[in-house]
Amino acid sequence: MTEQPVKAHLISQDSTDNIAFMFNPIQLQFSRSATIKSSEGATTAGGLPKVSFGSPQPCSLSISNILFDTYESGTDVMSAYINKLCQGVEFAASLGRPPVYIFTWGSQQYLKCFVKTLSYRLTMFLPDGTPVRAIVDLSLEQIDTTSSS
């Protein structure tokens, strides 16, 4: 008996729909940076600019080449999947901000986040022009877990 793979999800923390990935990502790319301020003209004894350290920036997660394919069912990939992702970058009037999600995969909860950027390419169409395959790139940005709005 072969165990079925567990799908990655964006679990909504608001009233919007959860987003299930049709196929799991190949890789997750995390990045984080710290803010520094250099004082113009001020240098150390070694000749390097004097810097002061600020706070760390939120963690970002980039997921590229996420495949959504509805060819076999013949349904529109936009209405089945992509429109839900597009809602992730829209400001919900009732919230005054975009929806908040938790990116999960199996039992791992990677981060509480919002969709910072969404890019998609429609790559296959039925003879009538209905899009049935899309490749999506997402950039998710961490938010404070104590944030309520």
pLDDT at residue 149 in the model: 47
Residue 41: partners with Cβ closer than 8 Å, 6 or more residues away: none
CA dist 2 to 20, 21, 105, 107, 113, Å?
A: 21, 20, 19, 19, 33
Distance (Å, whole) CA 68 – CA 81: 7
User: How do the domains of the chain map onto residue ranges?
Assistant: 8-32+57-142
For 81-108, what is the mean pLDDT?
A: 88
Alpha helices in the chain (DSSP H): 77, 83-87
pLDDT tens for 41-63 read 777 777 777 778 878 889 999 99
| pLDDT band, very low/low/confident/very high, at 2 (cuts 50, 70, 90) | low
Average pLDDT, the chain: 88
pLDDT at residue 1 in the model: 61
Q: Name the one residue in this structure whose structure tokens are 């404070």.
A: 144
Other CB atoms within 10 A of residue 62 CB:
16
Q: What is the largest CA-CA distance in the chain?
A: 71
pLDDT tens for 92-102 read 777 788 899 99
Residues 77 and 131 sit within 8 Å (Cβ to Cβ): yes
Distance (Å, whole) CA 82 – CA 14: 19
